[in-house]
Structure 1
């Protein structure tokens, strides 16, 4: 809990410092704070709704079948299976944090046991999990993608190809490289 309260305290202190440093430039502090609070609601609700959606997905009977299938993919290398599982979950939920939290809550012990049996360091499993969340999470239904396009005044048709290259293709290529290096040299 200290870590959570430390982050909250740091954010409050940072906001206070910014206000004090820019007090002369602000026409109305109340209007500025109100605008900031209003602008934060869309991303908060987009993210919260997608994480909630992910929890519903995890409770479905089909999720159990997907989990069983995913843990069998990858042959003797649990890193491949883990990467596919986390990517699929992040893609289904449209959220990196949602995909990671569901993967760790529902499959974490399974992959830890698989990794230990294969002689893979838990640190490498964690790195693969963290990098895998950054692939399919940025599909068109992702809250951050929707928020970004909304803020920029663009449609999916106008901008999603660029987003897909940067936020889907490059992270997946990075994941493939991580798995290849991790398999060859172990944890690093």
Structure 2
């Protein structure tokens, strides 16, 4: 059985996202006004902040203490939130594809990584869509996906998703493994496959 070039190319694009909130505490914005102002827009345009926004560590209902923090924390779709250590390790590679903006969290600096490298590479005809029309499972144009190590967004999903190609994934995995950075994950684009229910 042969695999088409299209299928191969789709398999070499991953979504770059923060790790499981089951293991680590996510961060939340302290000010609803900051969120409503649009300063955290993740559509792929460069951002300029007049002030450092405040973050808080999320504590689950009924719990007194939050889960431990990872080096890369969940905050909002389409962006990554890093501590100083993760920024120091990843910035030399990631700065080519976006910008780092400083935030305050309980007296410590966290960095909002905003990807500004936009590449129109999603094939809307082959992608799966939700009833609303938004894309739920991406298919990619083979010729449009970068060959060199890259982190990028597509205009169709920029507000929600960051992508990395095969060479970029390998480069990041080497950096993560060497420094022991926690909280960054690579996922197949689209929703996870449904688990089959066990039969009696």
**Greater share of strand:** 2
Q: Which has the higher contact order (CA 8 A, sep 6+)?
A: 2
Larger Rg: 1
* Higher helix proportion: 1
Q: Structures share a fold, TM > 0.5?
A: no
Q: TM-score, normalised by structure 1?
A: 0.31
